[in-house]
C-alpha cells in the first residue's frame, strides 16, 4: 500500500506551496504540487495605460524583484515598436545581473543549504580542522581557527538559550545528512556571512532604479540619466560604486559560494547526482542582450528548447505562435469560456477564478479534480523545466565557450559525467555556475557602459512617440526575460490605448503546475518520482529536490482573498 504524505506549507521558499507524495517501500511513486493562493494581478491591469504596467507587475514578487518590470517594458516596447538605446540595455543587464547574484546567493545559503548542512552537527566540529579545510579550498580570508571558534561559540550560546531562531524546526540529525561537522561549521559561518553580504549588491538597483526592492523602470529606456559631473545623476562616483559592488560580488562568489558548492556536492554527488532529474525537456528564453534585445543570437544566455536530454539539437521558440505556448486549467481553479479542456495562447488568455476545492480545514486533495491555483503552461503540448539548469544546458548545447568552460571544469572537479547534470544536484550546481558567469558578464557590461560614456554617448532613453494617438488601434506584444527561476514571459493586448488583456506566464508556473489534460506531470511532480524517503515524518529528501528549483509561488500565483476570510490553516514543518 502506498502512503500519502502531505507537506503544507513547504517552507524556505517564497509563497505557498503544498506537495502531496505517495510513498511505497520507501520510494516516491507519485507526486502532486499545488499553489494554495491565487494571483489576481492580470485582473488589476485591465483598462490601464500600458506604460504603467511595469509598476504593477513589479509587485508580483519582492524576491525576483524588478524582473517582472523588465519583462513588462519589453512587452510594451514590442507591442508599440519602441526600442531602448544601448546604454539602457546595458543598465537593464546590470540590474538583472545584480538580481541573479543576490537571489542565487541568498537561495543557496538561506533557502537551500540547510537541506544539505546539519546545523546542529556544527557544534561538534573541531575549529582547527574547519580552518584547515576552509584554507585548503579557498583563499577567502575569514578562515582562521579563532574565527571558526568564535562562530561556534556564538552558535553554542544560541542553542543553549533554547532558541534556535532562524534554525528552528530543521530535520537536524536526519540520516540523510552526510557532511562532517567541520564542513557543517564552515557552511554555518558562510550562511551568516551571506546574510550580511547580500545587502550590498542590491545597491546597484538603488543607483540605477532608485530603490530595492521594486526599482523603477521605463518604457523606451531606463529612468536615470548619466552625467559624470552632476550630483543628482548617475555620476562618476556612483558608477565607481557599481564597479566596486560587482568586483566584491565576484570575490564572494568565487571564494565562498563556489568552493562551498563544490565541497557540499562532493559529499552528495553519488546519490543526488542521479536523483531528481525529472522531466527531460529544458527551455530557456535566453537573455542579457549584447547587441539589442531584438537580436537574440547575441544574448549571453542563448534561447531554445532541448528535448529528451538531447544536447545535439536546440529547438526554436516562437512565443507568438499560438500552437507553441498555451496555458491549461483542467487541474487549476479557473474557468475558460471555451471549456476546461482547451489550452489558450496567452494573447487569448483568461483569468476567471473559480475555486472548487474542499473547504478548509481539509486533509488530502482530490487530485482527480482541480487542485491548484497554478495554471499549466506547455510548449508544443510538452512540459518544460525552466531555470538555471535549462539555461546552462541550452548554453552548453549551443557550444558557448564561457558556459561550457564552467560546466566542464565543475564536472571534472567532481569527477562526474555530463549525465549528472540531470539531477537535483545538477540543478543546484547550475545555479552556482551561472552566478559566477553573471559576475563576469556584469563586469563586461560595466566596462562597455563606461566606454560608451567616454565616447560621448550618455543617452539612456529614446525619444519615444509618447502620444497614444500615434499608436495603432490594436497592438499585441510579448516580452521574454530569463528571471532567476527561469523563462518568464508577459503578453499584452492593447486596444484603444488601454490594456485589454495582460497575461504573465511565469517560471514557477512552468515548474510547479499541476497535470495537463493528457495527465502529463510538470517539473516538480516528475522530479520527485523515484526519490527515496528514509523517514516519512521528516521528508528531507522532498525538500532537497523541491528547493533545488527555488520555488516562488508568489510569482506563480498571488495572494487574493476577496472576503478576507481564513483560507487555509498553516502547519509548520
Ligand atoms: Ni517570485 Fe519569479 C523568478 C519570476 S517565479 S521569484 O525568478 O518571474 O518563478
Ligand atoms: Mg498567467
Q: In this structure, are residues 176 and 541 in contact, taking their beta carbons and an 8 Å threshold?
A: yes
0.85 surpassed by pTM: yes
What lies within 8 Å, CB to CB, of 280 at 6+ separation is 307, 308, 309, 422
Omega of the bond leading into 9 within 30 degrees of 0 (cis): yes
d(Cα 162, Cα 165) in Å, to the nearest integer?
9
Peptide bond into 213 cis (omega under 30): yes
Residue 343, burial from CB neighbour count under 10 angstroms (0-12, 13-18, 19+):
buried
Q: Say whether pLDDT at 191 is over 80.
A: yes
State yes or no: pLDDT of 433 exceeds 80. yes
- Say what angle helices 258-272 and 127-137 make with each other, to 10 degrees: 100
Q: Which three cell numbers stand for residue 100?
A: 541573479
CA of 277 to the centre of ligand 1 (A): 21
In a domain, 228, yes or no: yes
Closest CA to 67 of 247, 212, 203, 207: 212
Tell me, in angstroms, the distance from the centre of ligand 1 to residue 406's CA.
Answer: 24
Rounded to the nearest whole angstrom, what is the distance from the C-alpha of residue 313 to the centroid of ligand 1? 27
Residue 164 within a domain: yes
Q: What is the CA radius of gyration of the chain?
A: 23
**What is the average per-residue pLDDT within 362-387?**
92
Q: What average pLDDT score do residues 469-492 get?
A: 97
Judge whether residue 55 has pLDDT over 80. Answer: yes
Q: Is residue 284 part of a domain?
A: no
Q: Which of left, alpha, beta for 387 (phi over 0: left; psi -120 to 50: alpha)? A: left
pLDDT tens, position by position, 281-338: 999 999 999 999 999 999 999 999 999 999 999 999 999 999 999 999 999 999 999 9
Which DSSP category does 562 fall into?
Answer: T
Which atom of ligand 1 is least distant from the CA of 61? 1
Average confidence (pLDDT) over 551-573: 53
pLDDT at 465: 66
Residue 567: pLDDT over 70: no
Biggest distance spanned by C-alpha atoms of the chain: 73
Q: What is the pLDDT of residues 498-519, one digit of tens each?
A: 999 999 999 999 999 999 999 9
Nearest atom, ligand 1, residue 484 CA: 7
Q: How many secondary structure helices (H) and strands (E) does the chain include?
A: 17, 13
Residue 519, preceding peptide bond in cis (omega within 30° of 0): no
Tell how far the Cα of 549 is from the centroid of ligand 2, in angstroms. Answer: 19
Percent of the chain at pLDDT exceeding 70: 97
* Ligand located closest to 325 CA: 2
**What pLDDT score was predicted for residue 538?**
93
Q: Ligand 2 centroid vs 518 CA: distance in angstroms?
A: 20
- Ligand 1 closest atom vs CA 14: 1
SS (H, E, C) 22-76: EEECCEEEEEEEEECCCCCHHHHHCCCCHHHHHHHHHHHCCCCCCHHHHHHHHHH
Taking the CA of residue 62 as reference, the ligand 1 atom at the shortest distance is 1
**Grid cell in block for residue 390:** 535549462
Lowest mean pLDDT among 427-441, 456-470, 502-516: 456-470
Does a structural domain hold residue 98? yes
What pLDDT, in 10s, does the model give residues 4-36? 999 999 988 988 899 999 999 999 999 999 998
pLDDT at 39 exceeding the cut of 80: no
CATH code for the domain of 155: 1.10.645.10
**Mean of per-residue pLDDT scores for the chain:** 94
CB contact at 8 A, 568 and 363: no
**d(CA 451, ligand 1 centre) in Å:** 32
pLDDT of residue 466: 72
- With a Cβ cut-off of 6 Å, ligand 1 is lined by 14, 61, 63-64, 67-68, 483-485, 488, 506-508, 552, 554-555
Query: Could you list the residue range(s) of the whole structural domain that residue 149 is in?
Result: 83-168+175-276
Residue nearest to atom 6 of ligand 1 (CA): 64
Tell me the per-residue pLDDT of 380-406, one tens digit each, with 9 for 90 and over.
Answer: 999 999 999 999 999 999 999 999 999
Tell me the three state secondary structure of residue 83.
Answer: coil
DSSP for 268-292? HHHHHTTS----S-EEE--B--SS-
Residue 478 lies in a domain: no
Please give all residues whose CB falls under 5 A of ion ligand 2, grouped by chain where several chains appear.
503-504
Ligand 1 centre to CA of 66 (Å) is: 10
Residue 571 has pLDDT above 90, yes or no: no
**∠ CA 460-463-466 to the nearest 5 degrees?**
120
Question: Ligand 1 pocket test: which of 480, 483, 487, 512 has the largest number of ligand atoms within 8 Å of its C-beta?
Answer: 483
Q: Which residues pair with 284 in a beta bridge?
A: 304
**Domains in the chain: how many in total?**
1
Amino acid at each position: 500500500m502506498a502512503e500519502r504524505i502531505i507537506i503544507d506549507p513547504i517552507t524556505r521558499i517564497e509563497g505557498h506551496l503544498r506537495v502531496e507524495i505517495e510513498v511505497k517501500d520507501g520510494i516516491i511513486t507519485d507526486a502532486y504540487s499545488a499553489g494554495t493562493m491565487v494571483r489576481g494581478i492580470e485582473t488589476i491591469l485591465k483598462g490601464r495605460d500600458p506604460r504603467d504596467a511595469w509598476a504593477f507587475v513589479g509587485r508580483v514578487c519582492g524576491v525576483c524583484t524588478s524582473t517582472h518590470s523588465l519583462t513588462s517594458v519589453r512587452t510594451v516596447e514590442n507591442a508599440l515598436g519602441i526600442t531602448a538605446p544601448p546604454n539602457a540595455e546595458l543598465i537593464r543587464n546590470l540590474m538583472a545581473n545584480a538580481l541573479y547574484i543576490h537571489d542565487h546567493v541568498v537561495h543557496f545559503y538561506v533557502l537551500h543549504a540547510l537541506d544539505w548542512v546539519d546545523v546542529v552537527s556544527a557544534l561538534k566540529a573541531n575549529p582547527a580542522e574547519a580552518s584547515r579545510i576552509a584554507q585548503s579550498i579557498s583563499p577567502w580570508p575569514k578562515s582562521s581557527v579563532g574565527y571558526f571558534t568564535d562562530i561556534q561559540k556564538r552558535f553554542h550560546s544560541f542553542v543553549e538559550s533554547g532558541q534556535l531562531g532562524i534554525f528552528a524546526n530543521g530535520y537536524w540529525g536526519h540520516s540523510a545528512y552526510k557532511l562532517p561537522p567541520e564542513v557543517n561549521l564552515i557552511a554555518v559561518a558562510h550562511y551568516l556571512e551571506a546574510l550580511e553580504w547580500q545587502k550590498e549588491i542590491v545597491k546597484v538597483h538603488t543607483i540605477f532604479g532608485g530603490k530595492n526592492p521594486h526599482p523603477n523602470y521605463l518604457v523606451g529606456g531606463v529612468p536615470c540619466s548619466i552625467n559624470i559631473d552632476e550630483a543628482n545623476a548617475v555620476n562618476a562616483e556612483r558608477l565607481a560604486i557599481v564597479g566596486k559592488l560587482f568586483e566584491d560580488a565576484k570575490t564572494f562568489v568565487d571564494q565562498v559560494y563556489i568552493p562551498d558548492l563544490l565541497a557540499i556536492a562532493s559529499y552528495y554527488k553519488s546519490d543526488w547526482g542521479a536523483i531528481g532529474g525529472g522531466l527531460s525537456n529544458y527551455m530557456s528564453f535566453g537573455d542579457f542582450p549584447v547587441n539589442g534585445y531584438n537580436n537574440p543570437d547575441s544574448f549571453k544566455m542563448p534561447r531554445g528548447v532541448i528535448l529528451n536530454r538531447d544536447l545535439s539539437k536546440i529547438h526554436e521558440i516562437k512565443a507568438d505562435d499560438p500552437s507553441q505556448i498555451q496555458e491549461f486549467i483542467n487541474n487549476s481553479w479557473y474557468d475558460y469560456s471555451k471549456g476546461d479542456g482547451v489550452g489558450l495562447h496567452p494573447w487569448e488568455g483568461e483569468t476567471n477564478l473559480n475555486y472548487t476545492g474542499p473547504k478548509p480545514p481539509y486533509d488530502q486533495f482530490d487530485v482527480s479534480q482541480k487542485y491548484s491555483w497554478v495554471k499549466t503552461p506547455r510548449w508544443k503540448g510538452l512540459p518544460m523545466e525552466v531555470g538555471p539548469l535549462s539555461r546552462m544546458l541550452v548554453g552548453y548545447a549551443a557550444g558557448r565557450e564561457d558556459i561550457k568552460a564552467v560546466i566542464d571544469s565543475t564536472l571534472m572537479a567532481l569527477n562526474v559525467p555530463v549525465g549528472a547534470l540531470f539531477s537535483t544536484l545538477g540543478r543546484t550546481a547550475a545555479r552556482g555556475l551561472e552566478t559566477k558567469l553573471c559576475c563576469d558578464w556584469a563586469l563586461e557590461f560595466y566596462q562597455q557602459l563606461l566606454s560608451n560614456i567616454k565616447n560621448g554617448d550618455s543617452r539612456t532613453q529614446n525619444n519615444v512617440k509618447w502620444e497614444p494617438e500615434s499608436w495603432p488601434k490594436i497592438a499585441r506584444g510579448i516580452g521574454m526575460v530569463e528571471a532567476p527561476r527561469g523563462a518568464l514571459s508577459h503578453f499584452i493586448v492593447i486596444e484603444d490605448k488601454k490594456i485589454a488583456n495582460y497575461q504573465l506566464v511565469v517560471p514557477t508556473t512552468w515548474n510547479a503546475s499541476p497535470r495537463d489534460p493528457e495527465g502529463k506531470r510538470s517539473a516538480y511532480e516528475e522530479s520527485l518520482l523515484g526519490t527515496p524517503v528514509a523517514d516519512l515524518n521528516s521528508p528531507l529528501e522532498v525538500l532537497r529536490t523541491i528547493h533545488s528549483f527555488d520555488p516562488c509561488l508568489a510569482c506563480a500565483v498571488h495572494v487574493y482573498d476577496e472576503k478576507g476570510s481564513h483560507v487555509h490553516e498553516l502547519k509548520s514543518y
